[in-house]
Chain A
Amino acid sequence: MVVRAKNPVHPVPSSIPVFRNTSGSPILLGPDLPAMISPVVHTGAIAVLSLPVVMMLNIQIAEIHEKVSRYPPVSGIIGLIPWWEMSLIPDNDHIPLLPTSISTNSLRYTVHAGEIQGWTNSETSGNSLHTYYSVRFLVSSLILSVAMIGATVLTMHRTTRVKRQDVFRQNAIDSKRTMMRRTTDPHLPTPGSAPTIYRPQ
C-alpha cells in the first residue's frame, strides 16, 4: 500500500504498520532499545513530518486516474535489486539454510555475568554513549538543533496576511507623547472651521 497507492496521502498512514513490523525484528533478536526508539523516530517523526508535506501537493481528482502502466518497467528493474540482495544472505556459514547444518560442535557463547545482574540494553548503551562516545552524542544534539532552526526558517514567512503584535513596542508607548489636547471646546460649533488641535511642545 505504501508503494502502490494512487492517492499520495495513503502511503503515510500505511507506513505505520510497516514501521511496526520493522521494529518487531530487533525485539526478537536482542537489542530492545533501538526497537523501541525506531517507532518513535519513524512514525512519530518521519511520518508526522512527511504527512503535511504530502498534503501540500496540489492533487486534483483527475490526476489520480492517470495510467499506472507506465511505471512497471523502470521501477520493476529497480525493485529486483533488493531481491538479488536477499539472495546473497543465506549462506551456510552465516545463516544455516538447512537444518542438517546445525552441528553439535558449534560453540554457543553464554555471558554468565548476565545471569547474576542483567543490564538492560538502555543501561549499556547509556553507559558507553555518554562516556566513550560523548562527542558523537553531542554531534546528534547539533543535528537536532539544526533541524529546529531549519524547520523554523523554512516554514515561517511573514508575507502572510497575519498581523503580529510586538509586546515591547506596545508597552513602550508613552501616553504623554501620543495623546493630543484640544484647546477649543468641541461642543461649541465655530462657524466655518473645524476645531483646531494644538499639540503640546
Chain B
Amino acid sequence: MLEFAPICIYPVISSLVSLILLGVPFLFTSNGSTYPEKLSAHECGSDPFGDARSRFDIRFHPVSILPITPDLEVTSFSPWAVSLNKIDLFGSRSMMVFLLISTIGSIHEWKKGALDRE
C-alpha cells in the first residue's frame, strides 16, 4: 500500500492553502469599524420585506444530475481498460453492449430536451 502514500500530500496542502486563505484576512480587519446598522441587509432604506433566499428552481437540478451517469460509466471503464488483454473479444463486446444501453438513456435525454440551453 505504499504506492498510495503520495496521496497524503494532497489533504495537507489543500487544507493548508484553505486555512491560510481563510485566516489571513482576519489579520487585516478592524473590528471597531463595524456596527449593526452597517451589517444589516440593504433594501434602499426601508426594512427588509422578507427573506432574501428564494427556493432553488428545479430547472437547475438536471445540471447536477446529468453528468453523474456518464461519470459512473467512465468509472466502470477503468477496470475494463486495464484488463483488455485477458478478456479477449467477449469482454470488449460486453462493454460495447453496456455503452449501447447507456446510449439509449442519453438519446432519451437528448430528445426530451434536457440537454438544451435553458
Interface residues of A (CB under 8 A from B): 27-28, 32-33, 37, 40-41, 44-45, 48-49, 51-53, 55-56, 58, 60-61, 120, 122-127, 129-131, 134, 137-138, 140-142, 144-149, 151-153, 155-157, 160, 162, 164
Contact B69 A148 (CB under 8 A): yes
Q: Helix, strand, loop or mixed for chain B's interface? A: helix
How many positions in chain B have a CB within 8 Å of any CB in the partner chain? Answer: 47
Contact A148 B105 (CB under 8 A): yes
Q: Whole-angstrom distance between the alpha carbons of A27 and B2 in the complex?
A: 10
Check A141/B97 contact, CB under 8 A, given A33-B79, A122-B83, A155-B58. Answer: yes
Cβ of B26 within 8 Å of any chain A Cβ, yes or no, is no
Q: Which residues of B contact A160 (CB under 8 A)?
A: 59
Q: Give the residue among B91, B105, B108, B109 with the most A Cβ atoms within 10 A.
A: B105
Contact B104 A156 (CB under 8 A): no
Q: Whole-angstrom distance between the alpha carbons of A71 and B14 in the complex?
A: 36
Interface residues of B (CB under 8 A from A): 1, 4, 51, 55-56, 58-62, 64-66, 68-69, 71-73, 75-76, 78-83, 86-87, 90-91, 94-95, 97-99, 101-102, 104-106, 108-109, 112-114, 116, 118
Contact A138 B55 (CB under 8 A): no
Question: Separation in Å of the B69 CB from the closest CB of chain A?
Answer: 5
Contact B68 A134 (CB under 8 A): no
Check A130/B71 contact, CB under 8 A, given A152-B114, A162-B118. Answer: no
Question: Separation in Å of the B3 CB from the closest CB of chain A?
Answer: 9
Question: Separation in Å of the A5 CB from the closest CB of chain B?
Answer: 17
Q: Whole-angstrom distance between the alpha carbons of A48 and B114 in the complex?
A: 18
User: Which of these, A32, A51, A127, contacts B83 with CB under 8 Å?
Assistant: A127
Question: Separation in Å of the B9 CB from the closest CB of chain A?
Answer: 15
User: Which of these, A28, A60, A123, A138, contacts B51 with CB under 8 Å?
Assistant: A60
